[in-house]
Chains A and B, each alone.
Chain A
Amino acid sequence: MRNIDKYKHAFITALDIEESEVREDLALGDIREWDSIGHMGLISEMEDVFDVSIDAEWMTEFNSYSSGLELLKRLGVDFINE
């Protein structure tokens, strides 16, 4: 599975939502499942899937689908050359 698919799948698994709900403009608070508590589960899922450690200050920075992607890129996850 490509990293971008893993990324999308993490949303589906952690937030227990349908694939169609994972949009590129999705942001924290847009859907009921992605609230502050769902966010913590999502962070844990991302850490497991990509074997990274997301620090406290990044947790608040990760507040949308796209910002999460950027954060993971900075942590060394390759979404382009895979």
Chain B
Amino acid sequence: MSFISIEFLLFFTIIVCIYYLIPHQFRWILLLVASYVFYGMINVQFLPLLILSTVCTYFFGIVIEKQETKKQKKHVMLLGISILLFFLGWFKYFNFVNESLRAVAEYFNWNYSIPYQEILLPIAISFYTFQAVSYLVDVSKGKQKAERHYGYFSIYFAFFPQLVAGPIERAKKLLPQLRAEQSLEYENISYGMKRIAWGFFKKTLIADRLAPIVSSVFDSPNPTGSEVVVGTILFSIQLYADFSALSDIAIGCARILGIKLSENFKQPHFAVSISDFWNRWHITLSTWLRDYIFFPLCKGKKKRSDIYVAIIITFLVSGVWHGAAWTFVLWGLIHGIYRVFGDYTKHYREKVVSFTRLDRSPTLHRWMKISITFFLICFARVFFRSDSVSQAFENAQLFLSISSWSPVGIFKALELFTLLDFVVFSFFFIILQLFQYIERKKVSTWKLLSQRSLITRYAFYIFIILSVLVFGVSGDGFVYGRF
């Protein structure tokens, strides 16, 4: 069952109705059954793995808490995390490691006999494993009490609005909300419905409209340089619309149930630097990596060069987390290099800005930084989107060729769109930008809208719904659902 479907909306409506009709003490049963039904309808064969991971984490949490010394707690925690990472490693990385070793063996003419295994990737395994790891670490450090109620704990693991692609939540934030009795509140229902509708808008009118155009470039055996440039920029827009739509729907659904999930995006394509970008893109993953990978790696490190190494490793982990392929590893490495290079050259860049007097025009300076950051992000996404390393390097070379950016070539590459598609996409893209512009002015668009007259408000809501129904297209799932 896809988020973007009538079936999901019907399923969710039924769950909401029952949720508010039954007493609080039975709601966890409803949410757990709903979560497992939802997951089972996507891929029933991996439901036992989800349950097994939940059971393991639940018991390890309790056992960790019962240990007397910090050292014992740490040992049990590491054992628990190892089991969880074994599941993740087996299903997600076995063939990646196996094929990489085979390539090395072939290169050196060694005998290598481990065959390729037919292993399917369980949906959401990266997301729930990360939630489990953070839970075990927090319990071992005494920041989180081990949850004794197996029902609530299982929902933390499998809460259906955020199971497929996050936001990655911490137990400290989600468990108390699941335990608290939520009452039916107009504000929650209204806000949740708007967020869901906005998610549908971004997904069906931006992301899925762009998906076939982007694919036509990256699936083409010999795209032109300008097509790679246009395809990559469109992919960046598609990826943002796709993933932020998913977060919108997750946040909206949870809010209707009275639960507040973490925000995952803050207009990342308006970031003024790479570090700023990672404060705005997939925020819950970035903070997870910061707290559970980067900070521990920095322990005892005083030199900048040592911290640079920690940055590179953290971005490599981010790359590998996104997918078991060398293209993702390279994507992570590029971001790590960006971050380190950005820090190393900060002083020189400041001097250049001062010398060119760019700092006297803050708006121009800001937009230059936004443009350069976006260009760098797009370049890295050539690797993210390409199907193989060789294709990624070919595309990257095309992306960096000055001739690929010629206005004539770019204009010709826009022929990837049909005229109707271009007009429809441009119209809804402008609406999205207007929405974001209002948000950048530190005003909540929804709040602003709520201050308008009833007619204006409902005209906007009807416009969104009709746009989705008339012009929306639906592709095959979410890009981030694969991770």
Contacts and interface: CB of A to CB of B under 8 A. Distances in A.
Given A32-B346, A59-B295, A44 B290 contact: no
Contacts of B301: 40-41, 44
Given A35-B343, A36-B275, A59-B295, A41 B307 contact: yes
A80 interface: no
A47 B346 CA distance: 27
Interface string A9-49: 00000100000000000000000100111101101110110
A44 B299 contact: yes
A41 B143 CA distance: 24
B142 to A, nearest CB: 10
A57 interface: yes
Interface residues of A, number: 17
A15 B310 CA distance: 18
Nearest to A44: B302
Interface centre among B275, B299, B311 (most CB of A within 10 A): B299
A40 B303 CA distance: 9
B290 A41 contact: no
Contacts of B311: 37
A19 B304 CA distance: 21
Contact of B343 (A37, A41, A45, A57): A37
Interface in B290-308: 290-292, 295-296, 298-304, 307-308
Contacts of A59: 295
Contacts of A14: 302
Nearest to B70: A53
A57 B138 CA distance: 11
Contact of B290 (A43, A45, A55, A56): A56
7 contacts: A32-B346, A36-B275, A37-B343, A41-B301, A47-B299, A47-B300, A59-B295
